[in-house]
Every structure is written in structure tokens, then in C-alpha cells.
């Protein structure tokens, strides 16, 4: 009897192993839907490093870049041309969901892809060069009150995008018409930061994780982080917008989606790997080093979160007259 049970157990294990091997992609790829250096790049490289260190992937993951429309080009390409590719995951953020809420991804909405995993939370940040005359968020707000078009903001999105929305919320809280702000759009946070360091724009609105390397290098000053309260550790000295009198909070989800025709087996293979990664303490430490904070959602749980967020962003976009 024991021998028969042992054979059944061995057979079951072999089937499970066979299924895992069949589902495992030979050339895993993470698409960052912007140029290098921004939040999408950060998201892909975090997963790349995490999987490499944990050995949850046998083959190394490569990061490729597909800029255009702040995620729109990649989203459309995955849905229309790479719908069934099991080795491809694509980075997204709250900015992606805000654009989906406004119909900026063309004919595809939030139901067009398979939402795979969220691996962390970032927060919005308002930054200036270290030699800027503005020492506080109040200094900046007073400048735009005096001359809304006299301050040049740079951000990795168009009007209505996530970075614009962060500055618009602050402007509105200060009694300034957001439409009067002078705003220069770039394709990704990396370009925006480069432009500010080069003196082409004066203020950067971005995700916090995109600018902390330059903060540590002493090249920028963060006037406010858009979190509910001060962040822990090395970021504890950065004031929030709320404590400076502007009741603004903007958490930034960072995660991945897959094509709509990826099989359940292939999707579940990735979900299992992300579940393992998110439970790994070494990955938690890696995420913390990238100045991201815990958020662990996969599969159906993430899908429900995404749909709820899109509905909230639709209401917010309507408040600013961005959608009819």
C-alpha cells in the first residue's frame, strides 16, 4: 500500500514539475514603456534584480524599452501584437491607470490586459535643483501665485498625466488655476530630471524613487513628498505637502501586466513566481534600497484594485475638466 502511495506521489510531483517547465518562458522580458532612467525602468530593474538574486527564474530577465505616449505605445503593442507572449511582462504605474481613465491608450481600456502583480508603492515628489532659490513648498507656491507662468515645471507626461496631476492638485490647493501653469512634458522621468539638472526646467514633478539617487548625490532638493506622513529611514527629513499646509497625497503603485491571450497556465506560473518574490525578505530589502514601500497584490486581487483605481481617477479627471 505504501509503495502504491509513494508511486502516486512521485507521479503527481512529476506532473507538477512538467507543468512548471512547460510554463516557464525561455527568454523572459520586461518592457519599460519609456526611455531609460524613469519609474518604469526602476520597476523592471527591481524585478530583474529580485528574480536574479532569488533564482526564481532560470533564464535571466532582459529589460527592453518601448517609449511613446507615456505607456500607450507599449499597451497597444502588447494587446494587439504580443497578446499571447508568455515571456513578456510590462511595467505599469498609477500614471498608466490615470491615462486609461482618460482614454489616452486609444481603444483599449483597463480590461484589455491581464494584471499580474504589484510589487511596491512609490510617492509623488516635487523637486528642484540644489541651488534653487526655493527652499520650501511655500516658497514655490508663493512664486506661482505671483506669476503662474513664470515657473517652468517639467514632468514625464502630458497635461492630465500623473506628474501634471500632482502639480495641479497643489496649485488648486493654493488657489491657483492649474491651467495657467507653465508645463513641459517629457517621455519619462529620466528625461525630466536630466532637463532640470541642465537648467531647462525649474521644478520636477515625479515619483520619489526616480529622484532619490540625485538627492543622495546632493544635486537636488525635494520640497515635498506626497505621502500621508513622513517616510521612514533616510527619507525622514523630507517634509510632506500636508505638513506644509497642502492636503495632497499621491501614492504610486508599481507593477506589471501581461497580454490578454496568455494562457492561465502561463499566467499562473508568473503569479506563483511573484508570490514567492514578494514573500522573500531579501526582496523586501532590495525594494527598500530602491526607496519603494511594501505593496503586494497579484492576480485577481490586483485586478480588483486596478478597476477601483481607474474609477477613482475618472472622477478626479472629471473634476479638472479632462474628460467629458
How do residues 193-231 score in pLDDT, each as one tens digit?
899 999 999 999 999 988 998 988 999 999 999 999 999
Residue 83 and residue 231 in one domain: no
Please report whether residue 129 resides in a domain.
yes
Q: Are 271 and 117 in contact (CB under 8 A)?
A: yes
Q: Are 97 and 297 in contact (CB under 8 A)?
A: no
Residue 133 and residue 232 in one domain: yes
Q: What own/partner pairs with CB < 8 Å and gap ≥ 24 does 217-220 have?
A: 218/130, 219/129, 219/130, 220/127, 220/128, 220/129, 220/130, 220/193, 220/196
Cβ neighbors of 195 (< 8 A, separation 6 or more) are 154, 184, 186, 201
Tell me which of 250, 279, 302 is where a domain ends: 250
Please report whether residue 3 resides in a domain.
no
- pLDDT, residue 6, reads 47
Q: Which of 18-22, 120-124, 259-263 has the lowest mean pLDDT?
A: 18-22
Residue 148 and residue 166 in one domain: yes
Place of cell 526607496: 291
- The count of other CB atoms within 10 Å of the CB of residue 25 is 18
Please report whether residue 41 resides in a domain.
yes
pLDDT grade for 187, boundaries at 50, 70 and 90: confident
Residue 70 and residue 109 in one domain: yes
- The count of other CB atoms within 10 Å of the CB of residue 9 is 10
Residue 256 and residue 116 in one domain: yes
Q: How far apart are CA 199 and CA 202, in angstroms?
A: 7
- pLDDT, residue 3, reads 52
**Total-model pTM:** 0.86
| Residue 184 belongs to domain with CATH number | 3.40.190.10
Please report whether residue 11 resides in a domain.
no
- Domain, as residue range, for 313: 28-122+252-319
Spatial CA neighbour of 276 closest among 48, 59, 55, 113: 55
Split into its structural domains, the chain has a count of 2
Please report whether residue 40 resides in a domain.
yes
Q: Which of 24-33, 42-51, 152-161, 245-254 has the lowest mean pLDDT?
A: 152-161
End-to-end Cα separation, the chain, in angstroms = 70
What angle, 0 to 180 degrees and rounded to 10, lies between the N-to-C axes of helices 208-216 and 189-197?
40
Tell me which of 212, 235, 250 is where a domain ends: 250
Amino acid at each position: 500500500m505504501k509503495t502504491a502511495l509513494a508511486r502516486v506521489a512521485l507521479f503527481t510531483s512529476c506532473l507538477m514539475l512538467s507543468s512548471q517547465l512547460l510554463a516557464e518562458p525561455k527568454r523572459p522580458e520586461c518592457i519599460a514603456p519609456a526611455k531609460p532612467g524613469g519609474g518604469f525602468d526602476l520597476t523592471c530593474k527591481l524585478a530583474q534584480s529580485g528574480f536574479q538574486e532569488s533564482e526564481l527564474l532560470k533564464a535571466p530577465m532582459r529589460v527592453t524599452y518601448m517609449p511613446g505616449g507615456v505607456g500607450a505605445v507599449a499597451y497597444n503593442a502588447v494587446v494587439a501584437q504580443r497578446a499571447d507572449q508568455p515571456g513578456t511582462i510590462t511595467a505599469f504605474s498609477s500614471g498608466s491607470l490615470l491615462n486609461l481613465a482618460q482614454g489616452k491608450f486609444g481603444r483599449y481600456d483597463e480590461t484589455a490586459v491581464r494584471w499580474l502583480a504589484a510589487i511596491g508603492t512609490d510617492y509623488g515628489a516635487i523637486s528642484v535643483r540644489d541651488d534653487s532659490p526655493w527652499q520650501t513648498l511655500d516658497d514655490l507656491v508663493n512664486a506661482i501665485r505671483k506669476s503662474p507662468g513664470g515657473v517652468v515645471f517639467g514632468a514625464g507626461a502630458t497635461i492630465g498625466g500623473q506628474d501634471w496631476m500632482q502639480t495641479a492638485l497643489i496649485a488648486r490647493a493654493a488657489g491657483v488655476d492649474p491651467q495657467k501653469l507653465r508645463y513641459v512634458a517629457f517621455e519619462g522621468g529620466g528625461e525630466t530630471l536630466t532637463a532640470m539638472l541642465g537648467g531647462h526646467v525649474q521644478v520636477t514633478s515625479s515619483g520619489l524613487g526616480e529622484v532619490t539617487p540625485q538627492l543622495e548625490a546632493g544635486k537636488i532638493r525635494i520640497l515635498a513628498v506626497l505621502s500621508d506622513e513622513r517616510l521612514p529611514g533616510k527619507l525622514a527629513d523630507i517634509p510632506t505637502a500636508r505638513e506644509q499646509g497642502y492636503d495632497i497625497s499621491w501614492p504610486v503603485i508599481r507593477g506589471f501586466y501581461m497580454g490578454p491571450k496568455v494562457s492561465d497556465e502561463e499566467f499562473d506560473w508568473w503569479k506563483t513566481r511573484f508570490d514567492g518574490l514578494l514573500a522573500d525578505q531579501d526582496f523586501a530589502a532590495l525594494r527598500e534600497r530602491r526607496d519603494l514601500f511594501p505593496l503586494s497584490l497579484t492576480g485577481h486581487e490586483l485586478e480588483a484594485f486596478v478597476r477601483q483605481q481607474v474609477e477613482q481617477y475618472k472622477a478626479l479627471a472629471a473634476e479638472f475638466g479632462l474628460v467629458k
